[in-house]
Amino acid sequence: MYRLQAIFILLLLWSGLPIAVFASPAGSPRHIVKRGKPEYYTRNFNTISSIYKFTIFPNMQPIIAQAQNANIPEVAELFSPNVSGRIQDVGNFTNFRTSIEYFYGLAPQPRPGNPAAITAATIPQFVSGCPEVATSTVYFTISGADPHQSKFGEVITYLKQTGFWHFDSEGRVDYYDLYIPALGDFTTILNGADFNDPTVQTLARKQLCQGAQAFCTGANAQYKPNLGINLKKLLSQLGLNMLTDQKLISTLGLTSLNAGELTCMSRLLEKDFGIFDKLWSDTIVCRIVHLMLAQSDPEEHCPHVGFDGGMKCVEYPYEKRLFGDDDRLFGTTDQYPHIDRFICPDV
């Protein structure tokens, strides 16, 4: 008899029926009220989803086109005008303009020779315990997105971003602290190139300098032609010999560089190449990323591509990068000390 009852209850558990009704004394069944998710939970989830939806190609294009505008209607309800945050290990973005540029200006878009773009953004991890704070993880799917190139519609790889968000009283993100792991591996797969290879590095430096000269012009120019720098000097800096390395030199296309590009390359040979897992540094990799941003906002980002890094592509010590700047990034006020920024306030 007892055994039968036990099996009965197990079956109920399995079927998900509220066993409390059966366990309570006869005549007074207690009902378990299943409440839906709180309104703020769904609101915050939708805000984060919408932020990421605009990274999907080609949704980011109208946003980037408005990068220099004070107000961008599409994302006005998603980000506070004073939004500020950090993306480890890319950098800190302390206003609306640079935050928007980070979120959308760096989203890959199909280019000649590389058809990769974000084609989906799914949120497998999310929780929000109060209107002010949520934590999430997004998986970006990167696929071929150009019908005229190979891999169209094929998944190339994925990218993960995880972290915390803070929302203002209108439900807009005003602070964020996010992290992208294994960006080095991601970049290698995305570009199909090993950035540890010295030839790849020289090619990357060359493309950086060509881009810097193409996008950063006039008042935004960073590398003025220096007559003392010519191909011969650059080759000797690179340890290449005009005669014995002729094939490599022509493969790299070094003979076609103009005076400004030669100057840029020669000067930037003083900088370490760096690694994509630590973009926030005085390196070539940091300048490659900021060159992407300079295409949509030269005034803001060209200085970062320049020789002194424009206070962005600079060495920023480990403790400062990760911890030391919380006060300024996440806004200290008397009633809301920064240390609590991503913790639900007491109710």
Ligand X SMILES: *[C@@H]1O[C@H](CO)[C@@H](O)[C@H](O)[C@H]1NC(C)=O
Site residues (CB under 6 A) for ligand X? Answer: 80-82, 91-92, 94, 280, 311-312, 314, 316, 325, 328-329
Write down the least CB distance from residue 251 to ligand X, Å.
Answer: 35
Closest to ligand X by CB, 82 or 137: 82
Closest to ligand X by CB, 325 or 340: 325
Closest to ligand X by CB, 44 or 263: 44
Q: Kindly report the CA angle at 244 between 232 and 223, in degrees rounded to 5?
A: 25
Residue 181: helix, strand or coil by DSSP?
coil
Closest to ligand X by CB, 84 or 266: 84
Look up residue 137 and give its two tokens.
């993880």
Q: Return the bridge partners of 91, or none.
A: 87
Closest to ligand X by CB, 206 or 312: 312
Q: Are 276 and 194 in contact (CB under 8 A)?
A: no
Write down the least CB distance from residue 171 to ligand X, Å.
Answer: 12
Determine the residue type at 278: K
Bridge pairing between strands 173-179 and 155-167: antiparallel
Q: Which residues contact 244 (CB under 8 A, 6 or more apart)?
A: none
Write down the least CB distance from residue 324 to ligand X, Å.
Answer: 9
Write down the least CB distance from residue 163 to ligand X, Å.
Answer: 17
Closest to ligand X by CB, 61 or 95: 95
> How far, in Å, CA of 105 to CA of 28, rounded?
61
Closest to ligand X by CB, 91 or 260: 91
Write down the least CB distance from residue 86 to ligand X, Å.
Answer: 8
Cβ count near 39 (within 10 Å): 9
Q: Are 137 and 152 in contact (CB under 8 A)?
A: no
Closest to ligand X by CB, 140 or 330: 330
Write down the least CB distance from residue 63 to ligand X, Å.
Answer: 20
Q: Are 318 and 81 in contact (CB under 8 A)?
A: no
Write down the least CB distance from residue 84 to ligand X, Å.
Answer: 7
Write down the least CB distance from residue 322 to ligand X, Å.
Answer: 11
Long-range contacts: 76-82, Cβ < 8 Å, 24+?
A: 77/47, 77/170, 77/171, 77/172, 78/47, 78/50, 78/51, 78/172, 78/173, 79/51, 79/172, 79/173, 79/174, 80/168, 80/170, 80/172, 80/173, 80/174, 82/174
DSSP states along 51-83: HHHTTSTTTHHHHHHTTTSS--GGGTTTEEEEE
Closest to ligand X by CB, 277 or 325: 325
Write down the least CB distance from residue 168 to ligand X, Å.
Answer: 6
Q: Which residues contact 202 (CB under 8 A, 6 or more apart)?
A: 238, 252
